[in-house]
Amino acid sequence: MFKAKVGDDFYGLDPTVQELEAMSAELLGKEAGLFMPSGTMANAVALLSHTRRGDSMILEENAHVYRCETGHFAVVAGVVPKRIKGCKGVLDPAEIENALIGPGVLNPTTRLIWLENTHNAAGGTCTSVDVMERTKEIADKHRLKIHIDGERIFNAAIALEVDVKDLVCHADSIQFGLTKGLACPFGSVLVGSKSVIETSRKYRQMLGGGMRQAGVMAAAGIVGLKTMIHRMREDHENAKVLANGLARLGMDVDMETIQTNIVFFRIPDDVMEGDALAVRLSENGVIVNSPGRGNSRIRMVTHYGIEKGHIDETLSVLGKILGS
């Protein structure tokens, strides 16, 4: 990052940003890329690029964009969400077609299918190539666009043992995070056709995402794409070790959702409240987010820097807390 060649990205003159954007587009089989400050901004920009105010989009009922991005789909894009319950976060293409809202003076017409891969709230679960192909058939039939919130799309590709290009080839746009499994300190990248990215560049500026010597930050993204993708298998293996250990300690873990690097578990009601356990863990050096009052579901995520020894230590600490 310190040695990065930089220019003014506002004018398209930062060579390191250009390298990251070109590398990202090539990896995902798209025409162009756009370096973004965050995944939330990338998703908002994609929405603006694919829809008009008063349109609707189809999405899974617990999609991250609905739960955790401060309602930008409504406030910024003016889009109506039509939520569908997925199977462990994965949408059934037939259910998508049943939920479409057609054109009409009174209707918020569906313009966009929104997919999340991996699905955060479902536990890091993956949408397969087969599901993507069937979803594309629905999209083409009804002239819809497809966007993938692919914050952890490389985790999905590694878990499914497919080329990430094959996993996203049917999408019109994809955003992926640099700050998750790729272990970078900043940013996301939005990829798609040249026309989508040209439109998105203007919306990025509208939302305050125009940058100057951004190559300092883009340099980390290049390192992440070159060195961090294939080692994600280690994160997945550690997640399975963690999940199995939690289950042995009496925690409620849905093992079918342990597909990538996210582990959700529930504390039995007669053991301890979720917030209390989070505090006890933190006091013993294991920092987790509190699940919120009355909620017993806690999330843990494995990533670069978390090694097998840390998993063993976490399980040991939890065992001692439960034993006391």
Cross-sheet strand order for the sheet of 188-192: 32-36, 188-192, 173-177, 145-149, 110-116, 56-60, 80-84
List the domain range (segments joined by +) for residue 149. Answer: 9-227
Model-level pTM?
0.97
> Average pLDDT of 220-232?
98
Is the Cβ–Cβ distance between 118 and 124 less than 8 Å?
yes
Q: Does 28 map to a domain?
A: yes
Cis peptide before 118 (omega within 30 of 0): yes
Give the count of domains, the chain.
Answer: 2
Question: 104-140: per-residue pLDDT in tens?
Answer: 999 999 999 999 999 999 999 999 999 999 999 999 9
Contact 270, 252 (CB under 8 A): no
Based on the domain organization, do 84 and 180 belong to the same domain?
Answer: yes
Boundary residue ending a domain (204, 227, 250): 227
Q: Give yes or no: residues 265 and 191 share one domain.
A: no
Any idea which of 22-31, 122-131, 279-288, 289-298 has the lowest mean pLDDT? Answer: 289-298
Share of the chain above pLDDT 90, in %: 96
pLDDT in tens, 229-248: 999 999 999 999 999 999 99
Q: Residues 34-89: pLDDT tens digits? A: 999 999 999 999 999 999 999 999 999 999 999 999 999 999 999 999 999 999 99
Q: Looking at the structure, do residues 265 and 162 belong to the same domain, yes or no?
A: no
Quote the Cα angle for 193-196-198, to 5°: 105
Is 166 within a domain?
Answer: yes
Asked which of 227, 245, 261 is the last residue of a domain, the reply is: 227
* Alpha-helical runs (H) found in the chain: 15-28, 39-50, 64-67, 72-75, 93-99, 129-141, 153-160, 164-168, 194-206, 215-227, 232-248, 274-283, 308-323
Q: Which residue has the tokens 């894009």?
A: 77
Q: What is the mean pLDDT of residues 263-271?
A: 92
Number of C-beta neighbours around residue 316 at 10 A = 13
Q: Is residue 50 assigned to a domain?
A: yes
DSSP state of 69: S
Q: What value does the mean pLDDT take over residues 23-36?
A: 98
57 and 193 in a common domain: yes
